[in-house]
Amino acid sequence: MHSLVYRSVANNSFGLPEIYKMLSKAKDYNAEHNITGCLLYHKHQFLQLLEGEKEKLDFLYSRILEDHRHQDIVLIENEESEYRIFPDWSMAFHDYGLNGHSGSLKLKQIELFLNKSNMFTTKSVSAIRFFSNVKEILV
């Protein structure tokens, strides 16, 4: 089992409607290849965790690297891991800009975490811990 985390910046033409379209295909692909994870999006920034077999993640990541809908892609983590953080989610997606006031405390917590993620410039175990925290907040 492997976990891969990267961050990137969405291109201007890649807005929420296009992201949802991309996600509906991505979820099918991920489910078919037993890939799970979570994609966070905020203010044009993506932070994605992918979980699955190493070969499958490497192949998907090579496609993601070639995708012109985002740029400035930085690999943060690509390591063996003992378990999945999102075993039941073919790709959890959270755009916390869209949520209402009821979730504001949760949203602030995630924003704090995501701001911290800007500091993840190299491989870091804290990226995986970050997603464990995100899951606790989202669920």
Is 38 an interacting residue with respect to ligand FAD (CB under 6 A)?
Answer: no
Is the Cα torsion angle 69, 14, 122, 1 positive or negative in sign?
Answer: negative
The count of residues interacting with ligand FAD (CB under 6 A) is 17
Is 75 an interacting residue with respect to ligand FAD (CB under 6 A)?
Answer: no
- The one-character DSSP state at 16 is H
- Rounded to whole angstroms, the Cα distance separating 119 from 126 reads 11
Is 67 an interacting residue with respect to ligand FAD (CB under 6 A)?
Answer: yes
66 vs 88 by CB, closer to ligand FAD? 66
- Rounded to whole angstroms, the Cα distance separating 5 from 38 reads 10
| CB of 56 vs ligand FAD, minimal distance in Å | 10
3-state secondary structure 21-37: HHHHHHHHHHHHCCCEE
Q: Out of 70, 77, 89, 131, name the contact with ligand FAD by CB under 6 A.
A: 70
Q: Out of 4, 5, 7, 30, name the contact with ligand FAD by CB under 6 A.
A: 30
